[in-house]
Structure 1
Amino acid sequence: MQAFKAKILYDGKEVRNDVYVVIEGDKIVEVKKEKPECEIIEAEVITPAFIDGHSHIGLERAGEPLEQAESNDISNQIQPLNNPLNSLYFDDKSLKEAVEFGVLYSVIVPGSGNVLGGKAVVIRNFGKNRTEGFLREIGYKLALGYNPRSTVEWKGIRPSTRMGVYALLEKKLDDVKRKIELVKLEKARLERKLKKKVEEKKLSQAEMEEEIKEFERREELKLSLEDKCLKEILEGKKILKVHVHKGDDILYLIELKNKFNFPKVVAEHLCDVHTEDIFKKLKENEISLTYGPLDAFPYKIELKHESYKNVEKLVRIKPFFCLMSDHPATLARNLFLQSRFFLYYGVEKSEVIKLLTFNTAKINGIDDLLGSIEKGKLASFVLWDKDPFSLEARPFAIVKEGEYEEIK
């Protein structure tokens, strides 16, 4: 057992003063005012581990030429089977630097050159390799707007317009949706038939249940691996993380969500949104946001309304959102620096910390493990030498799932 005393604790939900965070193994076992009987390490401030909500770290690697980057595969527009973990190298020095600034976890997604580029996974930035680094597979990456229509020279069917890209996407989704509905109809028909046999004493209840299980298994085997991925999205078993910047594409996303009844959708980037009505629409339709990256250069016409001043509209409407680095668009190590824009527009420090911790964990379905410093969560947090909102502040140590490490 080990304890860490915080003069100020941002626990991911609120601020607490002069408390002890007690850990055992890789878990937090207690947060309390009373001094525990064990080894104690003191810190001016403790925050939860920061989580980068959208990143290509390890796919586009520091010190390597651009042509060696692996964030986009050019073979097809629809590639739900692609797992970014299979293109990630954990010796990317950007991972180590991210950890040194408190960013212990990242949500890794493929690039946005394909309308459906692959899976979204959460990694431990402090992992030495893919085995140690992998935390959880959480969803899929979808891309709307300019990027997927700009890749006409890549392989496969490559529409040159958004209407073409969206038609391709909807056709694939509709094909899988119809397969799911046909299976439901066949299953209902089989159940009626078997129930009649049970009533006539020609079949036991156990035999009926076994036949239904066999039917479900046969139908599952008929689906391709790609179909199974899309089925996970349609049934809400996985999150759909959607690259989107402009208002009209965001409104299309809302229509798409309602048309296919996607239960779990996260809109990502939204840097061109410069009016409150779009943020209101997202909030009304219960779509969470992974916002940013702030501090990136608006390099394309799709970003012509990008400005840090858009933050004022975002915080006024208050949809549920978290932040991203979009590494390497901005460096993962600088994720916390984006917090200054929210302070400018009146957001409390504890709420800003939530944008990098609790909100990110909640949006990405890992809040059972991370995002706050409370009993039962993984013991992953950051020890600061002074108020982290001071420009000269830096972490002097981290705790990574129970392991204390000084930053040198």
Structure 2
Amino acid sequence: MKVLKAKKLYVGDGNVKENVYVAFNGNEIVHVGEEVGGEYLGEFEVVTPAFIDPHSHIGMDRAGEPYYEEEANEHMDPVLPYLYAEESVYMDDKAFRESVEWGVLYSVVLPGSGNVIGGRAALLRNWETNIEDAFVKHVGVKAAMGYNPRSTTSWGGQRPSTRMGATAIFRKALSKAYSDLKKLKEGKLSWDELEPLSKALIPVLEGRLPFRIHVHKEDDIAIIKRLAKQYGFKYTIDHACDVHTERGFKLIKDLGVPVIYGPIDSHPYKVELKHESYKNIRLLIKYMPDVLALMSDHPVVLQRNLMLQLRFFMKYGMKFEDAIKLITSNAAKVVGLNAGEVKPGKLASIVAWDGEPYVLGSSVVMAVAEGKIIEL
């Protein structure tokens, strides 16, 4: 058993503890509290849970490589739910290492938003050096609304030029899978007779995987609400950066679905982001979704800077111990990972700092990744 002492511990659930000992055995935290015996790792100013980025393209769009080698979007067709994101990830992307050095130990890597349905999202361990060890599980199927899928008319397949066209393609794929699922339950089709598209979408229709939906504008969120009601799928709202009115944020809250917000520090480079502003966070806090997590969308915002976006939530009154939940416990809930909190029974993925994480100049001095001490 290994033990460290935290002068200050941000638990990850909104609570703060002082002068506590954290012990872990193997990959699991087994004790948080009074002094306990074991291999002593030292005393640290601040300890936090490992950060989790629930939406990125790290390892697909790679640091130091030319733009035409990025692999976030497959161009051959607008509906590709059977793609696996991890199969276009290279773990030697130096951005993974830099993320670990700033406390981000987990990434969700998704296909890009150029396709209406882009493929499965993968949860990865950032500290591993090969994809076999890095891969944890699939955590959703990427879909996209708005401008991005209609901006790809030069790519392969039948491409939409309008939002209604993109929605029609989405609905057609859902209808096919929905019909095949019904036939499967009635015994009119066997699993082996299904097309790859239906095999990939049936887990979504059965609620075993959510859609991870790229969407910025309130009107497109309303369309998703309509489709979800018709087909019964679960989903997360990813981005929502153009939502800027009380009505829009109330709509999101009333949907009761997880929101993966951001990236906040990016340039609003297209018309559907014309209302994007960090000032929208004031309303986001007022109409707080049941589960809110924060993304980097790496490389749009570098994943190593994920925590820096918390400053806007603090600007509008959120305490750091609550803001940190957006990249720890809340992100863990979204991706179904037993981490994000420093509590017994959770994965021993924790980060030690030489000062308050939100203070300029503070650095990570030790990272523990599922019980493994990472040399920084």
- TM-score under structure 2 normalisation? 0.97
- Please show how residues 74-89 of structure 1 align to structure 2 within 5 Å: 74-89=75-90
Tell me how far apart the structure 1 counterparts of residues 37 and 313 of structure 2 sit (CA, whole Å).
Answer: 36
| TM-aligned CA deviation for residue 99 of structure 1 | 0.6
Q: C-alpha separation between the residues in 2 aligned to 1:119 and 1:182?
A: 24
Which residue matches 2:357?
Answer: 388
State the alpha-carbon separation in 2 of the partners of residues 94 and 387 from structure 1. Answer: 23
Q: CA–CA distance in 1 between the matches of 2:119 and 2:62?
A: 19
What is the distance in 2 between the residues matched to 1:310 and 1:342? 10
Other-structure match for 2:342: 373
Q: Aligned ranges for residues 192-341 of structure 1 at < 5 Å?
A: 219-262=190-233, 264-319=234-289, 320-341=291-312
Q: Which residue identity does 1:43 align to in structure 2? A: F
Q: Counterparts of 1:362 and 1:37 in 2: how far apart (Å)?
A: 31
**Letter aligned with residue 9 of structure 2:** L
Tell me, in whole angstroms, the C-alpha distance in 2 between the residues paired with 1:36 and 1:258: 54
- Write the letter of the residue equivalent to 2:324: I
Instruction: Give the equivalent residue in structure 2 for 1:149.
Output: 150
Work out the CA distance in 1 between the residues paired with 2:193 and 2:132: 31
Residues 2-24 of structure 1 deviation map (CA, whole Å, 9 limit, x = unaligned):
11111111111121111111011
Question: Shift in Å at residue 222 of structure 1?
Answer: 1.9
Match in the other structure for 1:121:
122
Take 1:2 and 1:27, find their aligned partners in 2: how far apart are those partners? 11
In structure 1, C-alpha distance between the alignment counterparts of 2:74 and 2:162, rounded to whole Å = 20
- In structure 2, give the amino acid aligned to 1:291: Y
Listed one character per residue, the Cα deviations across residues 360-390 of structure 1 (whole Å, up to 9, x for unaligned) are 0101122xx2111111221111000011111
Bigger shift: 296-305 or 168-177? 168-177
Structure 2 residue matching 1:82: 3-state secondary structure: coil
**Counterpart amino acid of residue 362 in structure 2:** A
How many residue pairs match? The answer is: 374
1:21-68 Cα shifts (integer Å, max 9, x gaps):
101111111112234354242111110000011000010011111000
8 Å contact 2:241–2:262 — kept in the other structure?
Answer: yes
In 1: Cα distance, 2:159 partner to 2:248 partner: 29
CA distance in 1, matches of 2:145, 2:225: 12
Q: Distance in 2 between matches of 1:220 and 1:84?
A: 23
Segments of structure 1 that go 5 or more residues without pairing to the other structure are 188-214
Instruction: After TM superposition, give the deviation of residue 401 of structure 1 in Å.
Output: 1.1
Which residue of 2 is the match for residue 137 of structure 1? 138
Contact 1:239 1:364 survives alignment (8 Å): no
Alignment-mate amino acid for residue 357 of structure 2? P
Residue 6 of structure 1: aligned partner: 6
Task: Tell me if the contact between 1:294 and 1:338 (Cα under 8 Å) persists in the aligned partners.
Answer: yes
Structure 1 partner of 2:367: 398
Residues 261-280 of structure 1 show CA distances to partners (whole Å, capped at 9, x for unaligned) of 11x21000111110122221
* CA RMSD between the two structures: 1.3
Moved more, 317-326 or 278-287: 278-287
1:90-129 map, 5 Å: 90-129=91-130
TM-superposition CA deviations, 1:318-377 (whole Å, max 9, x none): 1121000000101001101001000000111111110000000101122xx211111122
Q: Deviations over 1:270-309 (max 9, x none)?
A: 1111012222112212111000001100000110001000
- What is the identity, as a one-letter code, of the residue corresponding to 2:206? E
Is the CA contact (8 Å cut-off) linking 1:6 and 1:44 kept in structure 2?
yes
Q: Separation in 2 of the partners of 1:152 and 1:37?
A: 61
* 1:344 and 2:315 correspond: yes
Q: Structure 2 unaligned segments of length 5 or more: list them.
A: none
Q: Is the 8 A contact 2:177 2:197 kept in 1?
A: no
Contact kept in structure 1, 2:260 and 2:293, CA below 8 Å: yes
Distance across 1 between alignment mates of 2:177 and 2:364: 48
Q: Can you list the C-alpha shifts for 1:224-283, whole angstroms capped at 9, x where unaligned? A: 222111101111101211000011001111111111111x21000111110122221122
Distance 1:370 1:362 in 2: 9
Contact 1:106 1:122 (C-alpha < 8 Å) held by counterparts: yes
Q: Distance in 1 between matches of 2:26 and 2:160?
A: 52
Equivalent-residue separation in structure 2 for 1:84 and 1:180 (angstroms): 24
Contact 1:282 1:288 survives alignment (8 Å): no
Q: Following the alignment from structure 1 to structure 2, what is the Cα–Cα distance between the partners of residues 40 and 53?
A: 30
Q: Distance in 1 between matches of 2:52 and 2:97?
A: 14
Partner amino acid for 1:266?
A: T
Q: Which amino acid aligns with 1:400?
A: A
TM-score by length of 1: 0.89
Which SS does the other structure have where 1:154 is aligned? coil
Matches of 2:213 and 2:26, distance apart in 1: 36
**Maintained 8 Å contact 1:254/1:282:** no
